[in-house]
Amino acid sequence: MKCHLNKLVYKGLIIFLMMSLIPPNVLAEESMLPEAPIYIDDEPINTKYLMRNNHLLVPALFFKHSGALVDWDKEYQSVVFQAKEKKIALPVGKKFTDEYVRANNTWKRGTLTTEAIEFKGQIFVPLVDVAEKLGMIVRYDQELNRTFITSNITVRPNSIKKGNTSKKLVALTFDDGPEAFYTPQILDILKTKGVPATFFVMGQKLRSHPEIMQRIVNEGHAIGNHTFNHPDLRKQWSSTVREEIIKTQQEMIQVIGRKPDVFRPPYGAVTKADVKILNDLWMRNIMWSVDTLDWSGASAEQILEIVNNKTTPGGIVLQHNFQEGRLLDGSVKALPQIIDDLQKRGYQFVTIQTLLAQ
């Protein structure tokens, strides 16, 4: 019965992707892969895919969206998936899996319908095989023309975009520093205005500018973790995500003697598996309610208009303090007026930690 259901799922996936008239391995020769949405717990996840021997393969990292941890074992050239009590390894180019048996701390050999392959630097794995071995349910809905995966993985939600909306509090936040050009200017303005802010710092920048980091703390501002190297976490192995966070925490302890419990992901982008790691590390995931778009080189006038139109009680304002040309000139120029305008409207400026404590 299970075999029959698997065949139906595979058939549905092929119909859904309209690949039935294309020879099995054609896509492996293409430089551009097609993309389609696959629904995980009713959320559409756009993913590249390819067909091999009439089976659908997706990037191994796609499974991070299900909440499964995904890692690379260099020694055995295998992708390792972990979801709750299940742990499996797929050696690239082999038509089998190694599945961990926790009861006796051993591995047993399992089978695959087709092997995992490497293509353009990415590892692709058979969707249905991996999902089912991790205890997930895959089904194709012919009426909706969609593929659905029920992950059976629960991860506590962890995304904060605003604080208490009953008080006129607002938090200014700055990402990607510290550095030696814009950050001192921002600190000078904040000091003159008597306003605190929160700086989400990168580990590598912190290592390069410890004296500026010390000034941030000495002048009463709060800090948050913004990874070490600023990668897109969705595209990183789970162990790398954890390392990016922990390495930055360790750098902070070394420079200022303490570490934060707030984190902001680069590009504001995380998968369900990344959120699980944040939860395990007791880190609060801080997003924003007002995006100034200052990173794009927006003018002071444009930034002021955004902030004044979009700020509401409990708001979190996103700005930056990286140096890439003079992109942030408008942001720094707008800062004194942002403070003045919001104070005239009755807002009090607080750090993220104070905002969340309300």
Catalytic residue set: 175, 320
Select from 239, 281, 225 the least CA-distant residue to 61: 239
Report the DSSP pairing between strands 117-119 and 137-141: unpaired
Give the Cα separation of 358 and 314 in Å (integer): 9
Q: Token digits for 99? A: 């599945």
Q: What are the φ and ψ backbone dihedral angles of 170, each rounded to 5 degrees?
A: -145, 145
**Long-range contacts of 208-215, Cβ-Cβ distance < 8 Å, separation of 24 or more:** 208/179, 209/177, 209/178, 209/179, 209/180, 209/183, 210/255, 212/177, 212/178, 212/179, 212/180, 212/183, 212/184, 212/187, 213/178, 213/252, 213/255, 213/256, 214/255, 214/256, 215/184, 215/187
Select from 146, 156, 202 the least CA-distant residue to 179: 202
Q: In degrees to the nearest 10, what's the CA dihedral of 20, 48, 61, 322?
A: 180
* Radius of gyration over every alpha carbon of the chain, rounded to an integer in angstroms: 24
Q: Specify the residue for token string 């091999």.
A: 52
